[in-house]
Structures are given as C-alpha cells and as structure tokens.
Amino acid sequence: MKILRLLRDLFHQETLILVLLLAVAVGGLCFVTVADKVEDRDSQAFDEFVLRSLRRDSDLRIPIGPSWVAAAARDISALGGATVLTLVTLGTAGFLYCMGKRRAMWLLAGATVGGSVIIVGLKELFARVRPSVVAHLEVVTSPSFPSGHSMLSTVVYLTLGAMTARALAPLSARVCVVAAWVVLALLVGISRAFLGVHYPTDILGGWAAGLAWAILCWLVVAALPRSEPPIRVDPPGKPSTPKPPRTHS
C-alpha cells in the first residue's frame, strides 16, 4: 500500500502528461526502427525463423501443439478483426451516448476511425508481401506490414482500458484493468504470427504504432473533466465562528 500511495503522489497531472508524451515518442521511435529493418530486409531471417519455429519440422503446414491451440489462436485473432472491433466500438459508443458521455463517445470513435485510416495508409506505403515460408491458417489479402489486427486491437482496447480505469478510484484497480486490456492486445498480435499470416516484425510495428496512437487518445481522455464530486476543503486561516460570551449571574 505504501508503494501505491507513493505512485499516486508521484504521478500528478503534469508528470503523467510528460510520461505519456515520452511514451508516444518511444512508440514512434520503435515503429520507425522496425520499419527501417523491414525495408532493408535485415529482419527477414529472424522473421522466417520465428514462423518456422511455430510449425512442426516434419510439416510446416501444421502448427505446434495440440489441435485446440490453433482453434484458440483463430478465436483470439478474431478479437482484433474488423467485425469484432466495429461491434465493440459501436456498442460502447452507444452506451456512452445513452449515459450522456458525448466527448468520450467521440474520442472512442475518433481513435478507432483514425487508427483504421492510419493502418490502411501504412500498409499501402510499405506494401510488404505476406509470409510465404509457412502455410496460412487464415485467408488474408491485404499487405503485411504493419499488422492491422495488432495495431487496431491496441488502439481500441487500450482506449477502452483508459476509459474504464478512469472510472475507478483505487490505483491498484486501474493498473489491473489496463493490464488486462494490454494482455488482450498482446494475445491478438501473437495469434497472428501463430496463424502464419504475419511476420513478427509486422506485429511489433503494429503494436508500436497502435501504442503511440492510443496514448495520444489517453491524453485526450485525461483532459476530460472528472465525474467525481470535488472534495470540499476549508480555506486555511478561516476564522472560526466566535462563541457567545458567557454571562455571569
């Protein structure tokens, strides 16, 4: 509890904004670094090694592990697909509208639509061919870099995580909620490599770009007024009400 209290005292509004801006810069730098490796094909050997390691040596069409692992990977991958993310966004936006949270609704819509536009532009810009070293376990048609599932799941789920955490009072609860959304976004990206439809660097690039965009959305969320009632504090030095003088009989 002392550690949580220390963190709460440390991360004031101004400090948190600076940390988030630094995270945006780090995410952008990571994306540029990965993109440079992809463009120069410096990561190709690493990418192919990872994809091969996820398949059986005897037959690269068959993934490692029992059959239910591949089925689970497809289910998890669907959580980052356009259909699921669209339904999640529309459902949450409708709930926010009914609750009168119009600014939060437009924030979620803007983060999702903006992320979708960014990923389409990046895919067309790099035009990387999908992996051919292993058989695909899912039908794909768009360019490979960066991973759209990884980026959009990061954007949508981390934005939802920021909104959810903001409604919770204990810092420990906020950390747990955000961590759960982060794990979900990570699993979506990992599933794409397991299915053989993305190189690992595609996923890393999607995570980095999605994180940078999501944190920008977090900054907007932080600027929204809090719904908690303000704490009333008496101003210092306020004179107390004088007691009536005692009368002597």
Model confidence pLDDT, tens digit, residues 162-190: 788 777 777 788 888 888 999 999 999 99
Closest to 153 (Cα-Cα) out of 104, 203, 103: 203
For residue 124, the model assigns a pLDDT of: 93
Model confidence pLDDT, tens digit, residues 117-148: 999 999 999 999 999 999 999 999 899 999 99
Residue 215's pLDDT band (boundaries 50, 70, 90)?
Answer: confident
Chain mean position to CA 40: 28
Given a cut of 90, whether residue 110 has pLDDT beyond it is no
Residue 74's pLDDT band (boundaries 50, 70, 90)?
Answer: very high
Please state the rounded mean pLDDT for residues 70-97: 93
Residue 101's pLDDT band (boundaries 50, 70, 90)?
Answer: confident
For residue 248, the model assigns a pLDDT of: 53
